[in-house]
Amino acid sequence: MTAKDKLYIFDTTLRDGEQSPGASMTRDEKIRIAKMLEKMRVDIIEAGFAIASKGDFESIQAIAKAVKDSTICSLARAVPGDIERAAEAIKPANSGRIHTFIATSPIHMQYKLKMQPPQVLEQAVSAVKLARNHTDDVEFSLEDASRSEFDFMCKIIESVIDAGARTINLPDTVGYGEPEEYGAMFGRLINAIPNADKAIFSTHCHNDLGLAVANSLAAVMHGARQVECTINGLGERAGNAALEEIVMAVRTRQDMMPVETDLDATHIVPTSRLVSSITGFAVQPNKAIVGANAFAHESGIHQDGVLKHRETYEIMRAEDVGWNTNKLVLGKHSGRAAVKARFEALGITFDNPEALSAAFERFKDLADKKHEIFDEDLQALVSDVKPQSVPETYQLGDLEVVCKTGQQPTATLSLTIDGKEHTCSATGSGPVDATYKAIESAAQSHTTLKLYSVNAITQGTDSQGDVTVRLEKDGQIVNGVGADTDIVVASAKAYLHALNLLAAPERSHPQREGI
């Protein structure tokens, strides 16, 4: 067997994933996810875009302090202000990276940047040199590489490597690439550029044509040794290449792959659930690796084969990616230490004993209503806790709903808005509709409801309902989440969570603004 190269896993859930409309995460939520990524042995965590907002900057800084084993990276446009801000944000990291980028395709240079290629080249080289004053670990991305001209890419890549870039990323920014063409682009560039051996080539694919993972793997076949990806494929539009699919394809097809990763795949499912519960982006049941049905063999022929010899129909083992880790069940007699340990195994830690006590109280309340508490219940228990960085402008008090066959349901509730108490009541076509109308009679939020979804978190009729509410106001989109054994209460919590997110300061999106 020939020695395999290492494939570096660069996770951008907290940066490109967060650019997905409605996927904004708070600092505390980002820290939780970053710690899970570290546990999974992700090599590089792109923690945010430092110049985007004060919140992004503080999140990167906090992650740089909290995470020790993974490299912490900030994105920066190829301009001095961005690079200085990124450098400041990653300063506390054991190992920090600045990732700077500029667009190189004719269409982006002409219409977005309004710059000539020589100017773009000059700006790229200056940016990399400036970043190298702060760290040895500098990555340079040619935004929209898959639509860029080959000779110009050769020139700019050779120059930025000479200027000190150690990773060269060739994004398929708009998801236009096709595996053979995109993979071959890597091979041709690596062969043509004289100093290509001084850098690691990286892939970064968007999923607009459903080809992000295929394109990433094709690039690996042609020499890429870093893959940029996100948990659950989270990301703008159709999302980014899914980390779990890349990692398991590399592992399962070792007969084909020239690389291996250091990842501990047993943390994949818990991390997927964490990201889904924090962002409110549900994972579709048939999603590869992390979907609820990914390992469910329903057909009689399959079941028979699996029982006789597992490998007849199974190419991976569910437990290898972290399924079935929720066998340990907690209940009303479980003590604080057991509950704390289970929270920690799920990547949920508490900053102080009071926060743990509050979570333990919520656990006890739930255990009174529900016999067995699973991992999914614990994750839901903390998903709608508003961290300090999201002020609780709206707070739910009592909620009463009266439903009777043949009559319109009526909801009556007390609500605190900015410290002022309101009592409101409304009727609606169903109990949730009545509750939302009652909330709106006091909140007058002028938002548009884009999505309402409710899922059972676990099996059984005593399951908690997990509600996601997507609201839009003046172009800003947020996802509120709420969980409770009573789905009307869960719905109210999710709605108020969304209103609280809308009331929090908004972040800008410098990647769209160009330079």
Residues that bind ligand KIV (CB under 6 A): 16, 101, 141, 143, 169, 171, 173, 204, 206, 511
Task: Report the nearest approach of Zn ion to the CB of residue 104 (Å).
Answer: 14
Q: How far apart are CA 142 and CA 515, in angstroms?
A: 14
Which residue's CB is nearer to ligand KIV, number 485 or number 511? 511
Task: Report the nearest approach of ligand KIV to the CB of residue 486 (Å).
Answer: 41
Q: How far is CA 330 from CA 85, 358, 371, 417, in A?
A: 45, 17, 9, 36
Q: How many CA atoms lie within 13 A of 357 on its CB side?
A: 3
The string of DSSP codes covering 12-31 is: -TTTTGGGSTB----HHHHH
Which residue's CB is nearer to Zn ion, number 230 or number 447? 230
384 touching Zn ion, by CB under 5 A: no
240 is in an annotated binding site: yes
Q: How many CA atoms lie within 13 A of 161 on its CB side?
A: 19
Task: Report the nearest approach of ligand KIV to the CB of residue 172 (Å).
Answer: 8
The string of DSSP codes covering 127-156 is: HHHHHHTT-S-EEEEEETGGGS-HHHHHHH
141 binds, among Zn ion, ligand KIV, none (CB under 5 to 8 A by kind): ligand KIV
- Strand-pairing partners, residue 497, are none
Question: Which residue shows structure tokens 């291996």?
Answer: 260
375 binds, among ligand KIV, Zn ion, none (CB under 5 to 8 A by kind): none
Which residue's CB is nearer to ligand KIV, number 179 or number 514? 514
Question: Which residue shows structure tokens 């060739």?
Answer: 170
Stretch that binds Zn ion, among 15-23, 88-96, 144-152, 402-410 (CB under 5 A): 15-23
Stretch that binds Zn ion, among 12-20, 47-55, 264-272, 489-497 (CB under 5 A): 12-20
43 touching Zn ion, by CB under 5 A: no
Q: How far apart are CA 480 and CA 72, in angstroms?
A: 28
Per DSSP, the three-state class of 76 is strand
Q: Where are the beta strands (DSSP E) in 209-260?
A: 226-229, 259-260
Task: Report the nearest approach of ligand KIV to the CB of residue 504 (Å).
Answer: 24
Task: Report the nearest approach of Zn ion to the CB of residue 141 (Å).
Answer: 9
Give CA 167 to chain center in angstroms. Answer: 23
Q: How far apart are CA 178 and CA 209, in angstroms?
A: 9
497 is in an annotated binding site: no
226 binds, among ligand KIV, Zn ion, none (CB under 5 to 8 A by kind): none
16 is in an annotated binding site: yes
Q: Which of 345, 313, 349, 314 is nearest to 330 (CA)?
A: 345
16 touching Zn ion, by CB under 5 A: yes
Which residues, including other chains, have CB under 8 Å from residue 146's CB and lie 6 or more apart? 170, 171, 172, 173, 174, 176, 177, 181, 182, 185
Task: Report the nearest approach of ligand KIV to the CB of residue 55 (Å).
Answer: 19
Angle at CA of residue 153, ends 149 and 155, nearest 5°? 125
57 binds, among Zn ion, ligand KIV, none (CB under 5 to 8 A by kind): none
- Fill in the per-residue mask, 331 to 370: x = in contact with Zn ion (CB under 5 A), - = not in contact: ----------------------------------------
Q: How far apart are CA 207 and CA 174, in angstroms?
A: 8
84 binds, among ligand KIV, Zn ion, none (CB under 5 to 8 A by kind): none
Which residue's CB is nearer to Zn ion, number 143 or number 158? 143
Q: How far apart are CA 280 and CA 66, in angstroms?
A: 24
Task: Report the nearest approach of Zn ion to the CB of residue 103 (Å).
Answer: 12
202 binds, among Zn ion, ligand KIV, none (CB under 5 to 8 A by kind): none
Task: Report the nearest approach of ligand KIV to the CB of residue 511 (Å).
Answer: 6
Q: How far apart are CA 399 and CA 415, in angstroms?
A: 9
Which residue's CB is nearer to Zn ion, number 170 or number 481? 170
Q: 253 is written with which tokens?
A: 């097809």
204 is in an annotated binding site: yes
Which residue's CB is nearer to ligand KIV, number 148 or number 447? 148
Give contact residues for Zn ion (rule: CB under 5 A).
Answer: 16
**Can you say which residues are annotated as belonging to the binding site?**
16, 204, 206, 240
